[in-house]
């Protein structure tokens, strides 16, 4: 994320996604997207080996990324922040 007073523009995300924000518990940069399967919002973090693709604000589970895909053809991959955050259970809605 661009530092305060920096001339660097904020990162560009796919249409329909909000701005990157930080997890209020662990500080990791995350973005919220709607889960295609449930229609509920969930936090995601950028991860090249992630199994999720975020398009137009919707998270779609795509499985593991292809191992030998040229860099120019890759789609940004994401991982559910709930899978990694040590404080996920305090935020998960039941």
The Cβ of residue 46 has, within 10 Å, a number of other Cβ atoms equal to: 17
Extents of the domains making up the chain: 29-65+73-91
For residue 2, what pLDDT band results from cuts at 50, 70 and 90?
very low
Strands (DSSP E) along 10-93, which ranges?
A: 21-22, 29-35, 41-46, 52-55, 58-61, 78-80
Nearest CA to 33 among 86, 81, 90?
81
The pLDDT tens digits for 13-63 are: 555 677 789 999 999 999 999 888 888 888 999 988 889 988 888 888 888
Model pTM score: 0.71
Place of tokens 């809605």: 93
């Amino acid at each position: 994320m661009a530092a305060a007073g920096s001339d660097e523009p904020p990162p560009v995300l796919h249409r329909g996604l909000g701005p990157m924000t930080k997890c209020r518990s662990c500080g990791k940069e995350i973005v919220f997207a709607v889960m295609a399967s449930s229609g509920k919002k969930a936090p995601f973090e950028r991860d090249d080996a992630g199994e999720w693709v975020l398009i137009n604000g919707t998270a779609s589970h795509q499985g593991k990324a292809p191992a030998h895909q040229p860099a120019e053809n890759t789609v940004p991959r994401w991982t559910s922040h709930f899978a990694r955050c040590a404080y996920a259970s305090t935020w998960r809605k039941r």
